[in-house]
């Protein structure tokens, strides 16, 4: 099944040359952690200062630059076999083109998501109010994920072209089944996400919960949950970047899936 092969290859691309993956993502992650540590210190010492709007703008700029730096370099590593040291070279022009093309895509996807939410809000509210348990909301979330994920992946899948100096208009050589295959990939990932959501709920509310039966969570439990969520967010971002690289590499004919 092509969807399974795409997901498997995206996972393998992270670990097939893991030292390079560490070099590409290591420094940006360290700098992001240092930025948040500084932000936390400022928030503790000057709470009023951190509430001003320019800190949010600064955070978006800093994280955006670090994310683009790692993303473009990972695309180039997989698609062009480019090698990087512990101080990866930033490809400024490719990063800028990537950003300028991604911004309207994000806006368009946000508009589609908003319209979809407005169109189905009544049904979702009835399901939440009269439904039994959490299965209904999870199902609705899964449907949203499939629809928006398919549209988003189809848009974003050609972004790696900008990272390697090709035009976004560069057509997929094997592109006649791209949309269907991306839909199947999104369905597969959504099923895995839903399954993992139930596992997380079991861990939180079951005997393995770090909070146990306490009326209020301990500082250790709060810290453990925060670290867990941070690690999951980072791994999900890395996998998402690898997935875009894999889809583009396969359908452009540069790197077929295994």
CA distance 160 to 185: 18
Output the CA–CA distances (angstroms, integers) from residue 110 to 45, 62, 85, 139, 151, in the order listed. 36, 22, 36, 20, 11
Tally the residues of the chain: 258
Confirm whether pTM is higher than 0.75. Answer: yes
pLDDT at position 207 is 43
CA distance 100 to 73: 17
Q: What is the CA radius of gyration of the chain?
A: 20
CA distance 172 to 190: 25
pLDDT at position 225 is 74
CA distance 91 to 100: 14
pLDDT at position 65 is 95
**Hunting for tokens 């101080």 — which residue is that?**
87
CA distance 13 to 257: 10
CB–CB of 184/149 below 8 Å?
A: no
Indicate the Cα dihedral angle 21, 27, 28, 30, nearest 10°: 120
pLDDT by residue for the chain (258 residues), tens only, comes to: 888 999 999 999 999 999 999 999 999 999 999 998 888 888 777 767 666 667 788 889 999 999 999 999 999 999 999 999 999 999 999 999 999 999 999 999 999 988 888 877 776 677 666 655 566 666 777 788 898 999 999 889 889 999 998 876 554 555 557 888 999 999 999 888 888 877 777 766 654 444 445 456 666 666 777 788 888 888 999 999 999 999 998 888 777 787
Exposure string for 135-153, b = 16+ CB within 10 A, e = fewer: ebeeebbbebbbbbbbbbb
DSSP state of 177: G
How far does CA 136 lie from the centroid of its chain?
24
CA distance 202 to 149: 26
pLDDT at position 51 is 67
pLDDT at position 244 is 94
């Amino acid at each position: 099944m092509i969807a399974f092969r795409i997901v498997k290859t995206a996972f393998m691309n992270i670990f097939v040359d893991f030292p390079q993956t560490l070099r590409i993502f290591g420094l940006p992650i360290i700098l992001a952690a240092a930025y948040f540590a500084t932000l936390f210190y400022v928030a503790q010492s000057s709470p009023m200062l951190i509430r001003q709007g320019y800190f949010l703008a600064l955070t978006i700029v800093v994280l955006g630059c670090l994310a683009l730096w790692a993303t473009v370099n990972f695309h180039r590593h997989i698609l062009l076999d480019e090698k990087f040291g512990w101080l990866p070279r930033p490809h400024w022009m490719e990063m800028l083109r990537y950003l300028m093309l991604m911004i309207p895509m994000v806006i368009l996807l946000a508009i589609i998501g908003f319209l979809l939410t407005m169109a189905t809000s009544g049904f979702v509210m009835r399901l939440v109010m009269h439904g039994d348990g959490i299965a209904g909301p999870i199902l609705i979330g899964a449907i949203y994920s499939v629809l928006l994920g398919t549209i988003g992946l189809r848009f974003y899948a050609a972004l790696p072209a900008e990272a390697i100096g090709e035009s976004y208009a560069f057509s997929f050589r094997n592109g006649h089944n791209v949309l269907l295959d991306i839909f199947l990939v999104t369905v597969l990932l959504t099923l895995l996400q839903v399954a993992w959501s139930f596992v997380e709920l079991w861990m939180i509310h079951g005997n393995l919960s770090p909070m146990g039966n306490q009326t209020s969570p301990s500082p250790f439990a709060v810290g453990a949950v925060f670290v867990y969520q941070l690690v999951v967010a980072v791994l999900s971002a890395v996998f998402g970047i690898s997935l875009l690289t894999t889809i583009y590499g396969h359908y452009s004919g540069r790197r077929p899936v295994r």
